[in-house]
Amino acid sequence: MISLNAAKSVPGLMFVLLAVVTAASAHGQMPNCDSGFCCDESPALDCDVCCQELSCRERWADSGITFSNNLTQFYFGTVDGGLEQTDRYGGHGDYVANFDLGKLGVQEGLFIKLRAEHRFGRSIVEPTGALLPATLAADLPVSDSRDLYLTNFVITQALSENFIVFAGKMDTLDGDANAFAHGRGITQFSNVAFVANPIALRTIPYASLGAGFAYLLEGEPLFSFLVINPTDTTTSSGFDELFADGVAMSAEIRVPTSLMGRLGHQLVGATYSTRDYVSLDQDPRIVLPQVPVSRSSDSWSLYWNMDQYLVTDRCTPGRGWGYFARAGIADDDTNPISSFLSAGIGGSSMIRGRESDSFGLGYFFYDSSEEIAPFLATVLGPIGDSQGVEAFYNIQATKTLTVTPDFQWLSQARQNIDDAYLLGVRANLAF
């Protein structure tokens, strides 16, 4: 049974949505999805042709309401090494709705974003023995629950074409953006090491209440700043816990660059938390036992990433391939990962006739904290450094379905466990 948790936020959410729909209807902005709608707009056109060209969903988008949903399934197995040679099937549902209240006739420059997520089945994370999940999305938003959780309810107001402010409950997985290694674990790489820099995960929770601002350059964030509750509140509204354990902050600057006329980016980010750290939390983004650690009153991290196109398609913007890299350091008194590095290549397929396909090949390395490793060793055994490789090929099977064969080699931070070799396939249905 799937239920919507964070129940305390639901009445307020329903009130806001009702207000939006009521105001939009009053202004005549709600779309009409009757079959004769587009024929009335273009009587000279054949009704069937016209209505095929402008679907009901497109009419909603023209009126300011868009939906972006993904149902992703993972079938992965450890073919050698790890804790167990087995296969697992799991999945993740991601449902996003965006409301442009300017188009809806309510308030110019005002936007609302909603995201609900759930997971099902069992992921391959535990059998691998690795600390960084090989299939991140299969354990989000809560690794031991199949309920549907509201992880985004964000209100954004544009104060100008280049400056926005935002507040609400938000998930932080869209940070640390990269053209070739991001994708929330469902459209590009699956391993968390290539979705975001894990160095920042200790200080910034997955989903919690926060507020911030961003300066935009050509519609993309050039500089962003976020203040957020330092503890994860995916399973609740978050108001009872708001800043009870301190405050966390993050800042990022992402600058467009050009190499031989081809687009790239350089990103630098930092996080800081005033939280009192006394134990390692259960977190689906890093697999750790909940063990006590030396008390510390704050934590920080610094990270960098870059992407650079080497080949681009002049006829199709955004199509091409290039290379990427990430690096970071963190406070090893509180962070189980003291330094991190990854690099690789990715982008659109180079195979003629398969231009809609994509690929990725990446390598990562991280250095375990010398301060926290002894605490982990009491439960997991000796802890050292780790490295790994992931390779995938994204097959665009239909307009909405991608099928992705995937291979991973994971050298263990847990020194008493053999390296894990994984083979698997991911299927993502976008609708």
**DSSP assignment string, 108-124:** TTEEEEEEEEEEEE--S
Closest CA to 415 of 193, 130, 192: 130
Query: Among all chains, which residue has been given the structure tokens 């129940």?
Result: 7
**pLDDT for residue 97 is more than 80:** yes
Tell me how many domains the chain contains: 1
Query: Among all chains, which residue has been given the structure tokens 């990725």?
Result: 360
Q: Residue 358: its pLDDT value, please?
A: 97
Rounded to whole angstroms, the Cα distance separating 190 from 280 reads 24
Q: Residue 398: its pLDDT value, please?
A: 96
Cis? peptide before 374, omega within 30° of 0: no
What stretch of H or E contains 267?
strand 262-273
In a domain, 25, yes or no: no
**DSSP assignment string, 40-94:** HH-TTS-HHHHHHHS-HHHHHHHTTEEEEEEEEEEEEEEEESSS---EEEEEEEE
Answer yes or no: are the C-beta atoms of 23 and 39 closer than 8 Å.
no
Rounded to whole angstroms, the Cα distance separating 300 from 302 reads 7
Q: Residue 345: its pLDDT value, please?
A: 98
**Structure tokens given for 12:** 């307020």
In a domain, 425, yes or no: yes
pLDDT band, very low/low/confident/very high, at 30 (cuts 50, 70, 90): low
State the residue range of the domain holding 372. Answer: 69-430
In a domain, 31, yes or no: no
In this predicted model, what pLDDT tens digit does every residue of 175-201 receive, in sequence order?
Answer: 999 999 999 999 999 999 999 999 999
Query: Among all chains, which residue has been given the structure tokens 């991608």?
Result: 402
pLDDT band, very low/low/confident/very high, at 7 (cuts 50, 70, 90): very low
pLDDT, averaged across the chain: 88
Residue of higher predicted confidence among 48 and 203: 203
Rounded to whole angstroms, the Cα distance separating 241 from 247 reads 11
Q: Residue 17: its pLDDT value, please?
A: 53
- The domain spanning residue 136 has which CATH number? 2.40.160.180
Rounded to whole angstroms, the Cα distance separating 35 from 31 reads 12
Rounded to whole angstroms, the Cα distance separating 280 from 289 reads 7
**pLDDT for residue 128 is more than 60:** yes
In this predicted model, what pLDDT tens digit does every residue of 393-412 receive, in sequence order?
Answer: 999 999 999 999 999 999 99
In this predicted model, what pLDDT tens digit does every residue of 313-348 receive, in sequence order?
Answer: 887 777 999 999 999 999 988 899 999 999 999 999
Rounded to whole angstroms, the Cα distance separating 257 from 219 reads 16
Rounded to whole angstroms, the Cα distance separating 292 from 2 reads 33
Rounded to whole angstroms, the Cα distance separating 189 from 291 reads 30
Indicate yes or no: pTM above 0.85: yes
**pLDDT for residue 40 is more than 50:** no
Please report the beta strands in 297-384, taking only residues with DSSP state E, as ranges in sequence order: 299-312, 320-330, 337-348, 358-368
In a domain, 183, yes or no: yes
Least confident stretch, 98-102, 323-327, 351-355, 362-366: 351-355
In this predicted model, what pLDDT tens digit does every residue of 65-89 receive, in sequence order?
Answer: 999 999 999 999 999 999 999 999 9
Q: Residue 169: its pLDDT value, please?
A: 97
In a domain, 55, yes or no: no
In a domain, 211, yes or no: yes
What stretch of H or E contains 12?
helix 10-26
In a domain, 36, yes or no: no
pLDDT band, very low/low/confident/very high, at 53 (cuts 50, 70, 90): low
Rounded to whole angstroms, the Cα distance separating 40 from 52 reads 14
Rounded to whole angstroms, the Cα distance separating 305 from 293 reads 30
pLDDT band, very low/low/confident/very high, at 54 (cuts 50, 70, 90): low
Helix (H, G, I), strand (E, B) or coil at 279: strand
Mean pLDDT score, 369-375: 87
In a domain, 62, yes or no: no
Query: Among all chains, which residue has been given the structure tokens 């063990």?
Result: 291
**pLDDT for residue 142 is more than 80:** yes
Q: Residue 377: its pLDDT value, please?
A: 87
